[in-house]
Amino acid sequence: MERLRQDDPARIGEFTTLARLDADGSRGVPERRYLARSADGGHTVLAFLPSPGGDPARWAAEAQQAARLTQPGFWPVGQLGGTPAFPWHSSPYRPALPLPAVLAAYGGPLPEALVRTLGGTLAEALASAHVLGIVHGGVCPAGVLLTACGPLLSCFGATRATPPAGASPAQATGLETGCLAPELAAGGPVDRAADVYALGAVLAYAATGHTVPERQEIPAGLRDVITVCRSRDPQGRPEPARVLAELLPGAAYGALTGSTEPVPLPGRVVEALSRQSAEVLAAALPTQGH
């Protein structure tokens, strides 16, 4: 868990904040995320707030849309609350690490087999949303939360936030520019092809530690699929189902995001998830005056 700072809220609705999910200085985090607990100690949640300087109304609207998306593969939006100026949503806590924290725990880029599993699961989740005509619009490394049973997508709709005058979408949301498709950086609309471009950036990050690596940095087995996902031409990008087939040939569609079985994870990542769980369990509510 990451310690609270003085500018962090002491309470989010009826929950008292315990810690931040994201480490100090984390890049590309398009919203604020906290571990929090009810006053009676009976409920621990992961609570989400819009990023400072973002558009709270637009963020709240995206959260409401995400709450209606019940497909597996997405971090659930449970309770919605707050005011127009201070909206929030929360869901029951489960041990989860943002992808940057996963690489930090592992000590560098992830093994190719794990990158394939992560990417295939995320591709399957996007495919299920796209079939319904829903675009995620916020795929990025920080938006991928890894649990013991695999990755879940959060940060729904991050790139749809309305930027202040003179600011780019990346500046407005905190997203890394490497996750923004060229057409979005030019002011174009968010669509399914933009989700695939961002998925390619996430795969690149997991495999190299960078969202915009040089081609030769990418492991040979992943080079072609990452490159085609990150094509500058939206029409040249594959559908998510095709990305799944490239990453995990023969995988049964629907078997990844709906799985409740643990996925094979490196020992150091399992240790980091276990440590977070233990720290949350042992955390005491802050004393008044925090």
| Domain boundaries of the chain, sorted by first residue | 11-67+76-95+268-282, 97-266
Q: Answer whether 11-67+76-95+268-282 and 97-266 agree in fold.
A: no
Query: Position of tokens 């609270």?
Result: 4
Distances (CA, A) of 21 to 39, 98, 284: 20, 8, 16
pLDDT, position 289? 47
In the beta sheet, which residues pair with residue 81? Answer: 88
Token pair for residue 187? Answer: 């002011």
Sequence-distant (6+) residues with CB within 8 A of 274 are 95
Average pLDDT, the chain: 89
46: which strand partners? 35, 91
Q: What is the pLDDT of residues 245-290, one digit of tens each?
A: 999 998 877 778 877 888 999 999 999 999 999 999 888 776 654 4
Please give the CATH topology (third level) of the domain spanning 97-266: Transferase(Phosphotransferase); domain 1 (1.10.510)
pLDDT tens digits along 83-122: 999 999 999 999 999 999 999 999 999 999 999 999 999 9
CB atoms within 10 A of CB 21: 23
Q: What is the pLDDT of residues 13-32, one digit of tens each?
A: 999 999 999 988 777 788 89
| Domain 11-67+76-95+268-282 CATH superfamily | Phosphorylase Kinase; domain 1 (3.30.200.20)
pLDDT at 161 over 70: no
Residue 78 contacts residue 91 (beta carbons within 8 Å)? yes
Please check the confidence at residue 165 and state whether its pLDDT lies above 60. no
Instruction: In whole angstroms, give the CA distance from residue 160 to residue 158.
Output: 5
Please count the other Cβ atoms lying within 10 Å of the Cβ belonging to residue 8. Answer: 16
HEC string of the chain? CECCCCCCCCEECCEEEEEECCCCCCCCCCEEEEEEEECCCCCEEEEEEECCCCCHHHHHHHHHHHHCCCCCCECCCCEEEEECCEEEEEEECCCCEEHHHHHHHHCCCCCHHHHHHHHHHHHHHHHHHHHCCCCCCCCCHHHEEEECCEEEECCCCHHHCCCCCCCCHHHHHCCCHHHCCHHHHCCCCCCHHHHHHHHHHHHHHHHHCCCCCCHHHCCHHHHHHHHHHCCCCHHHCCCHHHHHHHHCCCCCCCCCCCCCCCCCCCHHHHHHHHHHHHHHHHCCCCCCCC
Cα–Cα dist 110/116, whole Å = 10
pLDDT score for 72 = 87
